[in-house]
Structure 1
Amino acid sequence: MNIVIEHNPSSIKLAELGVMSWPKWSCQPGKYALVFEERETCYLVKGKVKVYQKGSSEFVEFGAGDFVIIPKGLSCTWDVSLFIDKHYKFDPPTSL
């Protein structure tokens, strides 16, 4: 699935990246079908989720305190078990 997860990154790394100034997104527990049009980098402040790639029963799980990179083009289902609160940013689209 190529999702990269770093558990408990240092506060220095988060500060250097400016993570706390990124926009926030949150969602209630439930299942959400998502397609990532651009690569997303995010840091989960709260929550827990299992991510299933479309058409697969395999999943990756991450939650509060995790720094995550989600690849461009991923079509998946987020099975959110605990309320999600995260900072995120998308890579800028490449120009034609």
Structure 2
Amino acid sequence: MEKLGIKIERSPPENKLTQLGVRQWPKWSCPPSKFPWTYDAKETCYLMEGKVKVTPSGTNEAVEIAAGDLVVFPKGMTCTWDVSVRVSKYYNSE
């Protein structure tokens, strides 16, 4: 599924995560908060826990992502992260 330029795969199969090497990627976590963010590179991430609404700049529409989602953010995207439940993710920038 793709929404506002963000690609989301809900509950991808374990073999896909293994193939991508997700568990070897760096980890990042964040408590509930709201902050602006710009992606300097394409980022693929896998949320282990949490819930966040990502609102790309120039729109009032948000994309909700949560634990179990594999997400791809395009290079150059500027957005606001609104973390409602502590987020913990693996991420890989290209």
Aligned counterparts of 1:71 and 1:29: Cα–Cα separation in 2: 23
Residue 94 of structure 1 aligns with which residue?
A: none
Q: In the alignment, is residue 68 of structure 1 matched against residue 71 of structure 2? A: yes
CA RMSD of aligned residues (A): 0.6
Identity %: 51
Normalising by structure 2, what TM-score?
0.94
Q: Distance in 2 between matches of 1:55 and 1:35?
A: 13
Asked whether 1:3 is paired with 2:6, we answer: yes
Alignment of 1:1-96 (within 5 A): 1-91=4-94
Q: 1:54: how far off? A: 1.5
Count of residues paired in the alignment:
91
Higher Cα Rg, which structure: 1
The Cα of 1:55 is off from its aligned counterpart by 3.2
Cα offset, 1:32, TM superposition: 1.2
Distance 2:56 2:72 in 1: 15
Unaligned runs of 5+ residues in structure 2 are none
